[in-house]
Amino acid sequence: MAENGPVVSHTKDFFVTYNGKDEPWATWIAATLETAGYTTTIQAWDFRPGDNFMAAMDHALTMCRHTLGVLSPDYLTSLFTRAEWTAAYRQTLLGKTRGFVPVRVAECDVAPLLGPLVYIDLVDVEEAEARDRLLEGVAERTARPSGSPRYPGGPRP
């Protein structure tokens, strides 16, 4: 047992949490991630009629390396999604690296607790740009420039 509970072997990369009104965004995000070689758990595809919804959410939060929240006004005001993001954020506070990765898909004010987290912003961008932002945002490492950055000092023109 680890200090904060049992050691968990993650079986999926991302649990995509969303409000039902944002399902088109959530499924686009999951499909984009899967096309890029990641694995996902998402209610629309993985939870079946008769499943215990809360147990399935708990399992997804435990078995996925990261929880990706599809941020919108509907997401931020939903009781169920609040339970999901707060549980994922708690894992971050307990040391899980990037336990909660927010993805903003609509203009909204993030909750005060989410404010310090850097989010992936897909608001008002074309699909190719959204895909690039999503994949760059979930990557384990940030891209570094291949050459040296231009010197910012010197005389002004």
Q: Report the C-alpha gap between 33 and 19 in whole angstroms.
A: 19
How far, rounded to the nearest angstrom, does the alpha carbon of residue 33 sit from its chain's CA centroid?
A: 11
SS3 4: coil
Over residues 22-73, the pLDDT tens digits come to: 999 999 999 999 999 999 999 999 888 888 888 888 888 888 899 999 999 9
Q: What residue ranges define each of the domains in the chain, with the CATH number in brackets?
A: 12-138 (3.40.50.10140)
CB 65 within 8 A of CB 38: no
Per-residue pLDDT averaged across 83-93, rounded? 85
Which among 48-52, 97-101, 115-119, 121-125 has the top mean pLDDT? 121-125
Mean pLDDT of the chain: 86
3-state secondary structure of 96: coil
Average pLDDT over residues 4-25: 81
pTM score, whole prediction? 0.82
- pLDDT exceeding 90 applies to what percent of the chain? 48
Q: Is the dihedral of CA 57, 79, 93, 98 positive or negative?
A: positive
99 vs 91: CA distance, rounded Å? 6
